[in-house]
Structure 1
């Protein structure tokens, strides 16, 4: 019987051992395949994202070439800080043309950083006929400066008016 038991153990044990080893190997191979599949999916997502980035970069470069054509014009829209010094003189010229007496002063400058938009406060006191003020404001509106009027205060004095204007002028 011992010989029978040995043969039975060998006949049952060897295939069972091989099956156990193969099952273990298949389990590890299956989990490795699953991990690699996840890695491949992640790599595909990364590739798709990078492809979209490359396309976006190509479009931005194309658009930047078109924008370069307009840079000089855009820079000329607003005066730079040095050109802003002539703002009071230009106001005086407009006032003379519209027959309004005028005193102006520049105030505090607010800047968003180097090479960024600057806002300089200004104050204008003036006297003259009301129609001339209207002409002055129209001329100021069409001048080369971008301004934002904060307040306009009119006071009547006989046939003349006095005005106090405060606002901001924008520059680079």
Structure 2
């Protein structure tokens, strides 16, 4: 049975336990993304693997939509540390297909985690910029810092909507 993501194995928990809800594979069967959901925080964590193309990014984004529609996460951690590739050609699909549906189902905050040693290409930056025009997006080099920011954003929104 697949194990859910744990940012601090054996250590103190900074957030609730994750539930592994889905894995996406490339055409050759290699896992390219795993979706973990943190119920208490209402956050979907997407951990990417390998060399990514626009086609693979669209495949993962398409696969995320049923989970976004079912779970209604408020935030998303997009962890692309350790990945390579250019996926700028996915911008139109992300902008005109994925973003409207994600927003419609409550997603408003997007924490983009990347390697500090791997600069983002201009094409990939255009995808992040398109997302940032519609959602509260921040770029991070540290997963714990990304979680802290996202947790604050989600709590702030949850408190505002509960009032």
Q: TM-score higher than 0.5 here?
A: no
Instruction: Give the helix-richer structure, 1 or 2.
Output: 1
Decide which structure has the larger Cα Rg and report it: 1
TM-score tier, shorter chain, comes to: under 0.3
